[in-house]
Structure 1
Amino acid sequence: MSLRAKLITGVAAIVVVIAAVVTFAVTSGGSDGDQGGARTLTWWSPNWDKDEAAKLVAAFEQENPGITVTVVETTWDTMADKIRVALESGTGPDVITELTSRTGLYAGKGQLLDVSSWFTGDMARDDFLPSALDAVSLGGKTYGVPFRWDGSALIYNKDMLAAAGFTAPPTTWAQFTTIAKATTKNGVSGTAWPLGNDANTVTRWIDQYFTDGGAFTVDGSTVKVDPGKAADALNLIGSSVTEGWASKSSLEVDNTGLRDLFINKKIAMYVGGAFDVTPIQQAGINLGTALYPGTDGPGTVSADGFSFLVPAKTKKADDTRKFVQFLARPQNMAALTQTFPARTSAGTDTKFSTELIKPFFDQLAHARPNPGYTGMTDLTATVYSAQQQVALGRIGAAAAGQQIADQAAKVLKP
């Protein structure tokens, strides 16, 4: 080969190498989404938000030309494991919609980005419900942006209460007991509980535990439960069944079965979620809703919801911040949530202001984050068994409360 031919061949090879390097730099992604080329973000979003997510992405892309967002659908059955594996391996997407109560589990392992500085300007911190922010905060830092926040409230049959001589719903537990006993007659029970399902049972027990003044207290490497308060909560729910003014069906039904009992006029009132309102209305029940009754006013319920989380290893923080702040705008948050938004300003949307829905939103001012400690799954089985046994009269509430406290000390970790 001549010297000229060798030079041409060498130059061509260098050009090919340079082209390959440039192509890799554009497509593999440098800081903040492939600067100098296509900027892309990936959002893992649950399949029940599919339609609204697509609309919001389209609006964001139109407002931010040059940034493309790909939505990957997750499902309730698989999202926890999928997200855990992705965060542990460092292969996660740019934005994740995840159950708020699991945020602390990831943040405690250093797997989430601290987004404290994102709460500014149009996304002011004081516009978010305090309990929702508490649920995504750890060590004075915030690791998620909550957008959906749900708690329970009281659902009652106006006609049944009126027939028993009551023109208003109960506002205290004493009134609740009085009304429930008065409406228990002719095959109708005053109330019922979803004790046939472990998760539903634990939620109702935690609601009452919080209402009675109980707390989950971090003590070094363990989390403590007050055995006396645990027993009080078990007794208040369990005694309603043993005394006969809560339906025996409580031992078998879940939340859906509980709603069916109400629709079929087998119970006069119960504690449920805002998602129950529409099917009850469609059944033609003269429905009323009110705050969860406590000792001398509104009770305290456990709340949970969904938040936007960002992996700690993100290389696209600026574009991701822009996208999350867009999703968290009041009107977008209201559109995305099926129940209640985590921002006060988003709660002014007309769909949250109806007479029947408003108490569920107002209840969030009397709510605490659902405990998300490591080991809650192990504790769930103990609480479920304890509540069932107390409701069946097979064990005293004090002994059962101590069982819960002992198990919590063994399995719960901050």
Structure 2
Amino acid sequence: MRPLYRSASLLRALRVVMPCLALAVLLAGCGRKSTVQSIDLWIVDWNVDTRDLLNNTILPDFEKKHGVKVRVQYLDWGHLDEKLTISFAGGVQPDVFQVGAEYVGSMAYRGQAMMLDEFMKDWPQHKDFIPAAWDTVCTGGHVYGVPYLSAPRVLVYRKDLMQSAGLPVPPRTWDEWVTSGLKLRKLNARGNVVRTGINLSSGANWSTFITFLWQNGGELLTPDERRAAFNSQEGVEALTFLCDLYNKHKVCPREGIPSAAANVPLFAGGQTAQEIINQFAIKNVIKYAKEFTVDDVGVAPAPYSKRPVVTVWTDWLAISSGTKKKELAWELVKHLTRPDNLIKYNETQYFLPPLRSARNSDYVRNTPFMTEYFDLMDKYGMSLPPIPEWFEIRAGLRNAVDQAVYGAKTPKQSLDDYAKQVDELIAQRERTL
């Protein structure tokens, strides 16, 4: 079994923890056996309200129906990979666990997530999921999980500022976006940017590039997913446009601008007029904004070159390939993702329940802009490629994009150089098959 990340510190942790795991299993076997069957669940996306909902309502309902005990652990993303690696190595992995939008390729390749194809025929609900969300749990023509929450990224903009600048409608094309960004940018007396026309986070440049790539008709990989394709003409144009937003048009400083108040995001703080961001932008406006209200906000598809694209991030539930309680684990997944439970779970955290039928729920209909986010995700949504090397590719892509943005290489040189590395990375995996 390959670790999720090849790090010396993680290997050292395994050498320390593995004997402890073995001892724990031995001691557990020596104790008095419980007459109640249990099943283990790991949840990563949660807050206090989520925990209360699961502990007090959703899980007790399941326990009562099936006569079992659900042993749930609430984890954080910073420790998930290490805990998964150690638990799978020690054979003590959870029966059901939650993972993120980028995991299906590695989970399937390493045999950690169970293939769920056999359950689909008798579970018509799978046809109700929004396509971009469902794509997140599939690879190689097989199903490895069930979507649990979604966060699509669309253009959020200040309607009031656009109207004041003589812009009656949100930008639809890249050229219109540049024009609006320049008009909405605000400088102080020293010429420093105090309000960006467009907010572009330097830490998320790789995801911004992917969105631009798709908008321009390009793809990350070839159709057989065996070679890089992001260095195509479409890719070079996309990265050039991203670099120009920073360096030529200067709609946003490359290093960004500091928040005016602690923990207040730039859009809610009035320091940017436009941003490609998920639904939390609306939540933050309601919570933090002082100079404007949610009525001054609009959402739209992100401006594009050739096709509109909404990048969708969907976290999902997997069943461990090593579980000895396959049928019970599947019943738990079905229970957690039952429409009413799925909607309640998402509502506690302001996420979008990725079921088409959820559009008519009170939560979606009564939450500002949730319906608009929902419709844009359903119409234009795309998800990340389900390949085993995705985490390594993502890290390298961040560096390649930054090299172009900061002028160390041209966009073409940066993408061509990194494409060779990606080709070799994929070839290494194929040589081991």
- Please state which band the TM-score falls in when normalised by the shorter chain: 0.7 to 0.9
Q: Which amino acid aligns with 1:58?
A: P
Report if the CA contact (8 A) 2:147-2:317 is conserved. Answer: yes
The Cα shift of 1:327 comes to 0.8
Alignment CA distance shift 1:214-1:113 (3 Å): same
Letter of the 1:217 partner, please give it: L
SS at match of 1:224: coil
From 271, 278, 287, the counterpart of 1:266: 271
1:304 CA displacement: 2.2
Fraction of identical pairs, as percent:
21
- 1:237 paired to 2:242: yes
Once the two structures are superposed, the pairs formed by residues 140-219 of structure 1 within 5 Å of their partners are: 140-187=141-188, 188-195=195-202, 197=203, 200-217=204-221
Q: 2:396, 2:418 within 8 Å by CA — same for their partners in 1?
A: yes
1:224 to 203, 223, 228: 228
Give the superposed CA RMSD: 3.0
Indicate conservation of the 8 Å contact 1:208/1:301, yes or no: no
- The counterpart of 2:280, out of the listed 263, 275, 281, is 275
Q: Match for residue 106 of structure 2?
A: 105
Q: How many residues align?
A: 378
Verify: 1:38 aligned to 2:36, yes or no. Answer: yes
Question: 2: distance between equivalents of 1:325 and 1:87?
Answer: 23
Distance 2:155 2:262 in 1: 16
Pick one of 54, 60, 63 that aligns with 1:61.
63
| 1:360 matches 2:367 | no
Matched, 1:134 2:146: no
CA contact (8 A) 1:152 1:274 kept: yes
The residue correspondences of 1:334-353 to structure 2 (distance < 5 A) are 334-337=343-346, 338=349, 339-353=351-365
Aligned to 1:403: 417
Question: In 2, distance between residues paired with 1:411 and 1:257?
Answer: 41
The alignment partner of 2:422 has SS state of helix
Query: Is contact 1:43-1:71 (8 Å) kept?
Result: yes
Kindly provide the CA deviation profile for residues 213-261 of structure 1, in whole angstroms up to 9, marking residues without a partner as x: 222335778441331333222111110111234221545779x999733
Which residue of structure 2 lines up, in the alignment, with residue 300 of structure 1? Answer: 309
Could you report, residue by residue, the CA deviation over 1:256-287 in whole angstroms, capped at 9, with x for unpaired residues? 99973333433221111111212223314222
Match of 2:78 in 1: 77
Structure 1, unaligned runs of 5 or more: 1-23, 29-33
Q: Please list the CA deviations of residues 119-163 of structure 1 after superposition, one character each: whole Å capped at 9, or x if unmatched.
A: 355652210122222221233221111111222011111111011
**Residue identity opposite 1:238 in structure 2:** C
- Measure how far apart 1:391 and its partner are: 3.0
Mapped partners of 1:290, 1:221: distance in 2: 31
What's the counterpart of residue 331 of structure 1? 340
Contact 1:88–1:111 (CA under 8 A) maintained in structure 2: no
Structure 2 CA distance for aligned equivalents of residues 52 and 237 of structure 1: 42
- Alpha-carbon distance change, 120 to 379 in structure 1, aligned in 2, over 3 angstroms: closer
Q: 1:89 to 1:234 in 2, by over 3 A?
A: same
Q: For the Cα contact (< 8 Å) 2:267–2:281, is it kept in 1?
A: no
Q: Secondary structure, in 3 states, of the residue corresponding to 1:52?
A: helix
Whole-angstrom CA distance in 2 between matches of 1:371 and 1:91: 29
1:79 Cα deviation after fit: 0.8
Q: Deviations over 1:135-192 (max 9, x none)?
A: 2123322111111122201111111101111222123323222222222354443212
Q: Amino acid of the residue matched to residue 211 of structure 2?
A: D
Give the TM-score of the pair, scaled to structure 2.
Answer: 0.78
- Indicate how the Cα distance of structure 1 residues 390 and 138 shifts in structure 2: closer, same or farther if over 3 A, else same: closer
- TM-score, normalised to structure 1, is 0.81
Change in Cα spacing, 1:363 to 1:264, as seen in structure 2 (3 Å) is same
Maintained 8 Å contact 2:138/2:386 = no
For 1:128 and 1:268, locate their aligned partners in 2 and report how far apart those are by CA, in whole Å.
33
Matched-pair contact (CA < 8 Å) for 1:202–1:383: yes
Distance 1:144 1:220 in 2: 22
More moved, 327-336 vs 343-352? 343-352
Residue 328 of structure 1 and its aligned partner are, at CA, apart by 1.0
Cα 1:278/1:191, change in 2 over 3 Å: same
Q: Which moved more, 1:288-297 or 1:64-73?
A: 288-297
SS at match of 2:54: helix
CA distance in 1 between counterparts of 2:156 and 2:264 reads 10
Aligned partners of 2:299 and 2:372 also within 8 Å:
yes
SS in 2 for 1:341: coil
